[in-house]
Amino acid sequence: MLKNRPFLLIGLVGLLVFGGAYLLKTVFPSEAPYMAERFSTPIVFFEFIQSPLEVNDFFGLTDYDFDSEKFIEKMDFGNKLDFIFALTYSTFLFLFFRKLAIESEQKWYKAGMVLAILALIGDVFENIQLLGITANLQTGDFETNIKLLFIFTWIKWGSLAIGFAIYALWLLKLDGVLKFMGYVGMVPVVFGAMALMRRGIMTELFAKSINIMFFVAVCYCFFYKSEMNPKNRAELNQPF
């Protein structure tokens, strides 16, 4: 069975990613006192926050009727758990691309392994900046954290988007629904570029498109069979 389904065991790691994502969804607040226009997810807005004024408004520091302390505790707890989640999803991606390189007999797919490590590094340092911001809310000394946050947030999200674009190139070699998902896999790169130019709804769509591709990759692990491998086709000898 494992010989015919080479990604099956990796899919079990993917289930841990699903579990971690659900846990974080229950931990992070679903609403915030303030988010910039067309943002709807507090943690996504926090990761892409741009100024001290936005930070103060986001945490309700100017709203005396809002329980800022409880909100901060939830955000901090979620970001601390995210260290474990980052290791989980990056491990899944690392193993996934390693197996993909073997299955496809194309070593260049190992680039996804490098991107998985970059995503982990970006996420770890992103969380450090997010925790640094909340730790310095009273003093207001977190402008450096905001500047570094922008860099590490885009290292994380950018690595994931490019990694799934690489995966999409493999899906495009397959048939049926999987081939269609190959086109879907290119969407995060497009949304990411648009979000980089103008945050807001495109940022939310960018994050959701990454989540969709995680879902696709995990499902692929359970449904892919070796006989679906198109390695005997002439076009597989070319990376693009």
Query: What does the pLDDT look like over 159-171, one tens digit per residue?
Result: 999 999 999 999 9
Question: What pLDDT sits at residue 226?
Answer: 78
Assigned domain for 239 exists? no
Helix (H, G, I), strand (E, B) or coil at 142: coil
Residue 234 lies in a domain: no
Distance (Å, whole) CA 224 – CA 17: 19
- For residues 68 and 59, the answer to whether their CB atoms sit within 8 Å is yes
81 within a domain of the structure (yes/no):
yes
Return the pLDDT at 1. 59
- Please check whether residue 236 lies inside any domain of the structure: no
User: What is the per-residue pLDDT for 2?
Assistant: 65
Flag whether 1 is in a domain: no
Residue 33 lies in a domain: yes
pLDDT at 105: 86
- pLDDT number for residue 231: 64
pTM of the model: 0.92
**Which two three-digit tokens encode residue 191?**
């949304």
Q: Does residue 77 form part of some domain? A: yes
**Which residues span the domain enclosing 170?**
8-228
Low-confidence spans in the chain with pLDDT less than 50: 232-237, 240
Number of domains comprising the chain: 1
| pLDDT at position 104 | 86
Over its C-alpha atoms, the chain yields an Rg (Å, rounded) of: 19
The answer to whether 5 and 225 are in contact (CB under 8 A) is yes
Q: Is residue 94 part of a domain?
A: yes
**Residue 154 CB neighbours (<10 A):** 18
